Amino acid sequence: MTHVRVEPVDLDEGIPMMYRDFGTYVRMAYDPTQMDETAALALLCVRVPRLVGQLEVRRPSS
């Protein structure tokens, strides 16, 4: 199981999602005005196929 840290942030126009793969976990940021979280996670799984069925989402505490 790989932990994916998910954060909604304001990103530049045309960049709806970005991520960094640290091996033991992945950090992903998405812009909710350009893409919803579900679509961002789906795109992440396309870019990092080892996550399919093997990810655990973690969100920052408020």
| Rounded average pLDDT over 51-58 | 95
Tokens of 45: 């799984």
Q: What is the mean pLDDT of the chain?
A: 96
62 pLDDT band, cuts 50/70/90, is: low
Is residue 60 over pLDDT 90?
A: no
Is residue 46 over pLDDT 80?
A: yes
Tokens of 38: 């579900």
For 6, 50, 56, the CA distances from 34, given in Å and listed in that order, are 15, 25, 23
Tokens of 37: 């979280």
10 pLDDT band, cuts 50/70/90, is: very high
Q: What is the pLDDT of residues 15-34, one digit of tens each?
A: 999 999 999 999 999 999 99
